[in-house]
């Protein structure tokens, strides 16, 4: 849990996130990462104090937004079901790709150009992750896990053949754990889409819709003045 900034508001804004380095993670009890630095810059300019809590289940995080305990969630894609209870800003500062990861020893055996190439394979997926409808409805064989952090271990244990994961997060984690040579990302992503920091429609925070609009305005400023690009370069060396 972390707080920053100062304002006359009655309480801190409650921000909940699923820890995934390099975007958002905890280091010795302190939230760090690309998204943490971005919202810190936003809320410093807006004079909003906030606290960050980490939960390792997207399903639980979304429930916290539905019941109004979470005011803001970090890095969610847009879909019609979520739009019923989340306020999506206009501005996104990151497009995230999801690639299929396989064991390195299988890179000459498993290819992915079309979904038909995955027929006969067992694919690991994670509950409540927003994959594409085409992927989910392709008649593939799925092994379902509760959280993403189980998936690389299951892949290396031969529980399935391939798993779609957030590419930057996964490569960063594999490098940190010394497993980069054991896992191979197939070149073609199954999806690339913008992700957003979102606000709960059921939040009791004062003028949450107005805050989302002010957030948008500051994100535009941070893009224009190079702040967000500098944060990206610091963590992953990418624009």
Domain CATH code at residue 69: 3.40.190.10
Give me the torsion for CA of 95, 100, 102, 106, rounded to 10°: -120
Taking the C-alpha atoms of residue 176 and residue 165, their distance in angstroms, rounded to an integer, is 16
How many domains, in total, are found in the chain?
2
Regarding whether 111 and 85 lie in a shared domain, the answer is no
Regarding whether 171 and 202 lie in a shared domain, the answer is no
Regarding whether 134 and 20 lie in a shared domain, the answer is no
Residue found by looking up tokens 């209870």 in the block: 85
Say if residues 35 and 75 touch (Cβ distance below 8 Å): yes
Say if residues 4 and 50 touch (Cβ distance below 8 Å): yes
Contact residues for 181 (Cβ-Cβ < 8 A; gap 6+): 104
Regarding whether 56 and 118 lie in a shared domain, the answer is no
Regarding whether 232 and 210 lie in a shared domain, the answer is yes
What's residue 127's pLDDT?
A: 93
- Domain housing 202: 3-94+196-236
pLDDT by 10s per residue, the chain, length 239: 444 444 446 799 999 999 988 999 999 999 999 999 999 999 999 999 999 999 999 999 999 999 999 999 999 999 999 999 999 999 999 988 999 999 999 999 999 999 999 999 999 999 988 899 999 999 999 999 999 889 999 999 999 999 999 888 888 888 888 898 999 999 999 999 899 999 999 999 999 999 999 999 999 999 999 999 999 888 875 44
Regarding whether 188 and 212 lie in a shared domain, the answer is no
Regarding whether 180 and 137 lie in a shared domain, the answer is yes
Taking the C-alpha atoms of residue 230 and residue 140, their distance in angstroms, rounded to an integer, is 41
Regarding whether 177 and 113 lie in a shared domain, the answer is yes
What's residue 176's pLDDT?
A: 80
């Amino acid at each position: 849990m972390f707080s920053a900034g100062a304002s006359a508001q009655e309480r801190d804004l409650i921000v909940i996130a699923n820890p995934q380095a390099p975007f958002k993670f905890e280091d010795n009890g302190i939230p760090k990462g690309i998204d943490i630095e971005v919202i810190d810059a936003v809320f410093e300019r807006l004079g909003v104090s906030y606290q960050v809590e980490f939960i390792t289940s997207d399903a639980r995080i979304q429930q916290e937004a539905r019941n109004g305990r979470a005011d803001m969630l970090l890095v969610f894609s847009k879909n019609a079901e979520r739009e019923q209870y989340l306020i999506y800003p206009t501005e996104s500062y990151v497009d995230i790709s999801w690639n299929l990861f396989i064991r390195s020893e299988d890179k000459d055996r498993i290819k992915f150009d079309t979904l038909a190439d995955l027929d006969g394979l067992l694919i690991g997926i994670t509950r409540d992750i927003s994959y594409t409808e085409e992927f989910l409805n392709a008649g593939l064989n799925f092994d379902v896990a509760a959280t993403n952090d189980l998936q690389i271990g299951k892949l290396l244990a031969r529980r399935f053949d391939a798993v779609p994961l957030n590419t930057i997060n996964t490569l960063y984690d594999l490098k940190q754990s010394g497993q980069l040579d054991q896992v191979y990302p197939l070149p073609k992503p199954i999806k690339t889409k913008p992700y957003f920091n979102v606000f709960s429609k059921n939040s009791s925070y004062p003028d949450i819709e107005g805050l989302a609009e002010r957030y948008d305005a500051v994100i535009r400023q941070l893009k224009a003045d190079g702040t967000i690009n500098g944060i990206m370069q610091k963590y992953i060396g990418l624009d």
